[in-house]
Structure 1
């Protein structure tokens, strides 16, 4: 279990993280979101033991993170940090040795991962010869070569096409099934909705949204209606409680204050012709993120 309790981090007069608390259980994928400069990297460095909190504490399986614990942690940072003059084998041997693994174990695992990512022929290639997508795969392999108990992923899908993104997703799910604790950070919020049960949204080091995604979406009263039919925009906008109407190529999206407004919208829509769709949905996590972070911007 990872426990972050009332953690604060100051850089001189700047507070990068302020009173942050959360916990992650084995087999849980936890979302950590925020705009650039929100404090995510500082949190990662404190979890990895690279920075000491100014206040509060971080416990890994009940104790402060030590040098020995690092061997059980994997970290994939957003910016590529590969030694480009080394070959794939040399690079992974280097990172594996830093995690306390012997050469035989490293090579056995490396061959497995190269095969899984369809990169068997890349063993002796220099990192600088690889495409950005393949470099991303190698960086991912270096972060999981030690079969970590805690895996921190910062923008893991950067530079990947949809097919390789799906391969990463399958691997992450496999580690989850093995009981690995995973912290997942990305600007692609649709991935957070599909991966995580819980999340924290930070802005300027302060948690502005926190909890189970299902509860967050339930508590956010605003809903969307997706409909297909011969409707009139001005009639939709005239309905009390309708916040916005968006015209898309194949459907209309009607944004409403709360689910109760859907009845008034439906009463109008049922008078229209060729209505083939009327779905009431909770607001997307992306919408909630934008609104909550936007509120914080206005207050600062």
Structure 2
């Protein structure tokens, strides 16, 4: 039988000795500091809970958007068009991007006829070089730097998963996801330089929940949500602490013609809303610097509940609301 040489401690004893030595060094400082940090955390949590509760009753004041330069992708129709018209009425300089020439001209004409200031460009936002070149052209003709970016352009195809063509899936991600990267990549540097800005993404409740026959669309919207959350954390860690806000919008169903009206219980909550109303709600969220906002508003509270309860309970709630039997 092998024996341990005299004067040499076993390997386990050496490890224990090191741990005990380290513990002796840390022990006098660890507990008081940890207790202090936990106490401080509890105070911050309490303050945040009280503030959030008050904000449910008394929302934050709306900021003035007069003179802001707003870039809206997909401004030719639906929510994008209504956002452009309503923001122009608030005194914003509106830049309309769309790949539909006639639709974009229609939005531009509406704004100009009402006395607003707007510019229109035909852009395929899924193409990075086209996005960069258009912004370079905008700077060249003297359009101010973008202070509010609204990524609204999206496509939605409705069919069973196995019936999608590969080109359909690629196009969905190019327009719904990658375009957000290209526009943010081009607009964020000037926002960082100016120390302020606002980036808005028109996501969807499909970015929170999976929906049948919309698998690529749901996947793309989940990706947009991750982009916004990750970027917000990254900017928060910037030493210069720029005042750049991020707002992710989760509409349930807006009557834009992209999809059929889903039949849910309680149509007064889950029924289709017109683009005019959706745009009004989005602008309200922007002006109050909300990080997240759903249309209708109550759906974010429902999502908070669903994140806490067991998955089986969440499924029962969603099946009840969808009237699934």
Q: Given the two structures, how large is their TM-score scaled by the length of structure 1?
A: 0.31
Task: Decide which structure has greater strand share.
Answer: 1
- The normalised TM-score by structure 2 is 0.29
Larger radius of gyration: 2
Which fold has the larger relative contact order, with Cα–Cα distance below 8 Å and residues 6 or more apart in sequence?
Answer: 1
Name whichever structure is richer in helix by fraction. Answer: 2
